[in-house]
Chain A
Amino acid sequence: MSKDMMPHFELYQPDSVETALDLLGRFGEDGWAMAGGHDTLDWFKDRAKYAANVVDLGGIESLRGIRAVGDGIEIGAMTTLTEIANSDAVQSRFSVLSSAAGRVASPQIRNVGTLGGNLNQDARCWYYRYGVDCYRAGGNTCYADTPEGQNREHCLWGADRCVAVSPSDVAPAMVVLDARMVIRSADGEREVAAEDYFIGPEIDIERMTAVEPGELLTAVRIPGDWANARFYFEKVADRNTWDFPLVNIASAMVVENGAISRIRMAAGAVQCTPRRLSVVEEVVTGSPPDEETAALAGQAAVRGATPLNFNHFKIPLLENLVKRAIRDA
């Protein structure tokens, strides 16, 4: 086992997106875009993944900051999670996002970890991180999806050779806010809805987002559609800090005349992408956000879940979190 000894690499520190894209285009498969570095350097230290040329995005000022755009906001991909958690603009109108950002990892990691890094982080399946030759690593087996696989943290839905889950706390909030992910390449800019940004193993088992080689996530645009909605975010993890979610839940709800008129809800850590709980949204729209509706919502949320041997607790846990998102928001 090769662990904890990073190989040498060339470090490039461009000061513009254009230069970064140029470098990444030039290096192709030998290039690696690095944001805060937590995910990147872990892989490198374990020698499980490697690229000879690392493009550090930390010096690109245009990728930082939170700005008003139209009726919403735009957040640069290199904005730190601490900046998002503490932002007045986010807290005052999109608190589901500031809450989610504030629950990522630990204060030290949030101080360095970025929005882009959090959204683009790789799967946290412990087998995959160990460096085994699983499907996601280009091999031909899954170690977790077996009768004895230790799969407590793994998925309830969407298993397709791989049973890893989306580990991000921020991603479900982005889905709930109907955020648009801004992706730049040498050919220009494109926007992808947050819900479509995250991809499962059935689309590509070796990556988790729609970002193609030669592209960069540069910003996230959050429209004003859900500003000041009734928000709810909760993360359940073993520890109260420095831990990935067992399940997390994000919700935006608009209540008019005592009834839910609009709602978006998404859960993390239950499938490979943030799970949009469309069924819940349909079930509860038009109903009051009371205990009965909450119970119905919880039941609706877990229909069709197919647990593995050690993760069926996620079914009642998700059910309860959905209940809380309706009842306690």
Chain B
Amino acid sequence: MAWSLIGKNFTPPDIRAKVTGDAKYAEDFRAEGMVFARLLTSPFPHARVVSMDASEALAMDGVHGILTADDEGVGELLTNEPKFVGDLILAVAADDETTAQNAIERIRLEFESLDFTVDPLDCLYPGGPDPRADGTNVGGGRTGLERRRIKWTARDFAAVGENQLPMGEAPVEWAHGDVEAGLSASDLVIDESFVTPGNSHMSMEPRTAMAYWENGKCYVHSGSQSLTASLPAIARQIGIGLDEFVYINEFCGGGFGSKGTPGQTVGIAAHLSKKISRPVMLRISRHEEFYIGSARGTLQGRVRMGFRADGKVTAIDFTVVQDGGSNGGFQDAGDAAAALSILYQPEHMRFRGIPVITNTTPRGPQRGPGQNQISAAVEPLVDRAARELGIDRLEIRKLNAPDNDALIGANRLNVTSAYMPDALDRGAALFDWETQRQRSGERNGSKVRGIGIGTAYHDVGRTGYDGLCVITPDGKLHLHSGVGNLGTYSYASTTRAAAEVLKMDWENCIIHQGSNANFLPFASTQTGSNTSWTMSRANYVGGMNALGKLKEIAAMDLGGAPEDYDVDGARVFKISDSAQGMTYAQAAQRAIELGGTYSGENPPDDIHEVTRLAVRGVAGTGLVGVAKETLRMEGDVPALACGFAAVDVDVETGKVEILDYVCIADCGTVFHPQGLAQQMKGGGVWGMGFALFERQIYDPQNGLPGNDSFLSCKPATYLDIPATVEWDAVDIADPQNPVGARGIGEPPMGAAAAAVLCAISDALGGHVFNRVPVVPDMIVNYVAGREQSTQPLKIHTA
């Protein structure tokens, strides 16, 4: 279908403010009488606060108050049982931050040190340290599992070979087919244990929050990836109703999954403000951001992959231990399994996983949580199979790649559409695979050329959210977007689905976003690359609702039935006689006069409470289009990407130079080319950093985190990546999205990481490492024939 807006670049309305510096982030706001808060964070990985004496601090000039876990309603926002170094114990408010910090240093705290662990396998071993005082060590967080206690037996550990991942009781498991039979019937079985790292989100804007109370309402400034999806959580943190606060979140300086839901700093600022009756600014420092800003969970995994002689993957047995950090973590283990399932389409598969609580930083969703780690770990193994079977690495991927017949997961779900073979073909052409592979292994001094391909997946579809738009008597279309402003601009691009439905000139469209005070409908979290799919559908139904009302009003005033009418040029007119019609402006005025459903006074019953409040705000201002999206959604909605990398590995220094990188997206119709380019390149850079630099280190002796700065976390810099990243997209519409779009944000990272890692293996003559990132140490040691410093299953190590 030819679109006038979809697939075209446009300038989102917030760009100018970002470029000029006018954009106001949470810490840019001020309120009369505002004071500043500082946090006291735990120096211990696990302890109990035995006693606290803040009297000296509170007596200081300029100190206004303290908030602790014992204050009413604070709940788990602060704690008396800190569970990682950096955990938040209390907050002090003062005239300025220096005074607040000076006051914190005068608080006398007595701790009782408790057992702690930074390695899930230590925690699972019988008699191993417990990460929580209640003895639980598995589940919680956002794993979908109740927290519970699981200890494996010594026999579980003894049952596997040295350096193989053991597997005892697994709280998450599924299977299809007969994996053992499938492996037995395979011509080749690859069996490797591996580890992937945790890494920080490294958001440029720390999760600062400012809050104050006015006329019984709480006003909260804080950056979150999501907007209306964050409202219920904010209400819970503060302990108030959805209509009792105003959330201002016009800009978010990066979140990458960690700000999909509001951070605890929002609640801390709000409670402290209420307690001391002053506005409170809680600026989060860079170190604190690394403590509480969440991180990707590590994986300690084992994969047994069976291949037919022609390269077809027949069976996968995947076991994984996930470091869920102090909070229990996210669903990385299961997501990794799903990714394996779709990327290689095994007839037989078994998955067993266990998310383990440790005394490391809280873990949460991060770009491709689980999916990207598993691409980085397993794609080099596919290369190894190709090498052993004598098959081209492009061909083995095309043979296994998901297409429209693909199935995924335990329930063998269909996909809405998938074109990975096409993406691989397109990438091979753009990368010139045939020419590049001739240079594989080419030696130039101490440098050896390697090339690699990586593929990655993420599920990107949700349903059931609301669309809201208003045509006002001035003829403008007001597009209300409840999506957060994460930086992908999908808060804006998805509204174009409604504009398309109404055939509106973009110049006459006004986007409303940034605060629930702007009357925004309930939207999905701006996470999981799902916004393009999910919220284009929601906006579409909102637009369709408005379209139906336009036609009804025209039929009412001009005769005939609604289906006798069409729209274009901001007019609704009779199909049989286009001269008979009315402008949108006139229709909007009529909607106000008619009231009821037309002007939002009588909204539909099935919309979310957040949307109901928003509709109440716009009611009577024009023709209101509002609806809950209930379109068909059958099967998994995949985002797929493949990357092609060429590297030079210096075997004397262990340094890897990425020479070329190409990435191809399979994300349905390209919605917003510039936005897509940004995702492909940004994800690619992150993948390169994941492959080569980023990892979290913890000292197992004292639980100290070794990475609490941009310097020590080592995100890739301009000098570590190729000067240009080429990209393209398959650009075939998904049949279950009215504008054809699927999301894409996450898999470009996994594809890049995997492609670079495969290229390193290629340069070194075959698969070598079962550890990510591949740092100079590993290459230099390997080339010199030395043992690696780190034991194969150890995580969080140098």
Q: Which residues of A approach B to under 8 Å, CB–CB?
A: 1-8, 46-47, 106, 126-127, 130, 132, 143, 146, 148-153, 234, 236, 238-243, 246, 309-313, 315-317, 320-321, 323-324
Contact = CB atoms under 8 A, between A and B. Distances in A.
Given A239-B719, A317-B654, A1 B714 contact: no
B704 A5 contact: no
A312 B98 contact: no
A188 to B, nearest CB: 39
Nearest to B790: A310
Nearest to B798: A152
B175 interface: no
Given A5-B101, A316-B784, 18 more contacts: A2-B104, A2-B105, A5-B38, A46-B287, A127-B699, A143-B699, A143-B701, A148-B699, A149-B701, A236-B776, A240-B719, A310-B790, A310-B797, A311-B789, A315-B786, A316-B781, A317-B776, A320-B652
A246 B776 contact: yes
Contacts of A46: 287
A241 B708 CA distance: 18
A16 B693 CA distance: 44
B315 to A, nearest CB: 37
Contacts of B599: none
Contacts of B780: 313, 316-317, 320
Contacts of A313: 654, 776-778, 780-781, 786, 789
Interface in B695-738: 697-702, 704, 706, 708, 710-712, 714, 716-720
Contacts of B101: 2, 5, 7, 47
26 contacts: A4-B285, A4-B288, A7-B102, A8-B98, A47-B101, A126-B706, A126-B712, A143-B699, A143-B704, A148-B700, A150-B698, A150-B706, A152-B777, A238-B776, A243-B714, A309-B789, A310-B777, A310-B798, A311-B798, A313-B776, A313-B780, A315-B784, A317-B654, A317-B776, A320-B780, A323-B652
B98 A130 contact: no
Contacts of A127: 699, 704
A236 B98 contact: no
A246 B781 CA distance: 14
Contact of A150 (B43, B717, B786, B797): B797
A5 B102 CA distance: 9
A151 B700 CA distance: 12
A323 B783 CA distance: 15
Contacts of A47: 101, 105
Nearest to B105: A2
Nearest to A152: B798
B52 to A, nearest CB: 16
B85 interface: yes
B205 interface: no
B86 to A, nearest CB: 7
Interface in B614-664: 652-655
Q: Which of A2, A130, A238, A240 has the most CB of B within 10 A?
A: A238
Contacts of A234: 653
Interface in B675-702: 692-693, 697-702
B347 interface: no
A152 B775 CA distance: 11
A155 to B, nearest CB: 14
A324 to B, nearest CB: 7
Interface string B12-49: 00000000000000000000000000100111000000
A85 to B, nearest CB: 15
A240 B719 CA distance: 6
B97 interface: yes
B274 interface: no
Contact of B655 (A3, A150, A236, A311): A236
A329 B94 CA distance: 59
A4 B287 contact: yes
Given A241-B718, A312-B786, A321-B653, A1 B701 contact: no
Given A150-B699, A313-B780, A238 B775 contact: yes
Contacts of A132: 704
Consensus secondary structure, chain A interface: loop
A162 B697 CA distance: 20
A150 B798 contact: yes
B696 to A, nearest CB: 11
A241 B717 contact: yes
Nearest to B701: A148
B437 interface: no
Contact of A324 (B97, B287, B652, B797): B652
B308 interface: no
Interface centre among B652, B701, B708 (most CB of A within 10 A): B652
B717 A239 contact: yes
Contacts of A316: 780-781, 783-784, 786
A152 B717 contact: no
A300 to B, nearest CB: 16
A2 B42 CA distance: 10
Contacts of B778: 313
Given A6-B98, A246-B776, A316-B783, A236 B654 contact: yes
Interface in B396-412: none
A118 to B, nearest CB: 15
Contacts of B41: 1, 3
Given A127-B704, A146-B701, A150-B697, A5 B285 contact: yes
B56 to A, nearest CB: 16
A323 B775 CA distance: 21
B54 to A, nearest CB: 16
Contacts of A4: 285-288
B798 to A, nearest CB: 3
Give me the 5 closest cross-chain CB pairs, A-B, nearest first.
A4-B285, A152-B798, A240-B719, A316-B784, A320-B652
A238 B699 contact: no
A324 B651 CA distance: 12
A151 B285 contact: no
B197 to A, nearest CB: 13
B699 A149 contact: yes
Contacts of B786: 312-313, 315-316
Given A4-B285, A240-B719, A241-B719, A143 B702 contact: yes
Contacts of A2: 101, 104-105
A238 B288 contact: no
A59 B86 CA distance: 39
Contact of A151 (B43, B704, B719, B798): B798
Contacts of A149: 699, 701
A241 B286 CA distance: 20
A148 B784 CA distance: 24
B85 A1 contact: yes
Contacts of A148: 699-701
Residue from A143, A149, A150 whose CB has the most chain B CB atoms within 10 Å: A150
Contacts of B781: 312-313, 316
A309 B704 CA distance: 18
Nearest to B445: A328
A312 B782 CA distance: 12
Contacts of A309: 789
Given A143-B701, A151-B798, A320-B652, A243 B789 contact: no
A153 B798 CA distance: 9
Given A148-B701, A150-B706, A312-B786, A5 B776 contact: no
A150 B692 CA distance: 19
Interface in B95-118: 97-98, 100-102, 104-105
Contact of B789 (A5, A130, A152): A152
A78 to B, nearest CB: 24
A151 B653 CA distance: 19
A106 to B, nearest CB: 8
Interface in B264-300: 285-288
A130 B701 contact: no
Contacts of A241: 717-720
Nearest to A246: B776
A317 B708 CA distance: 27
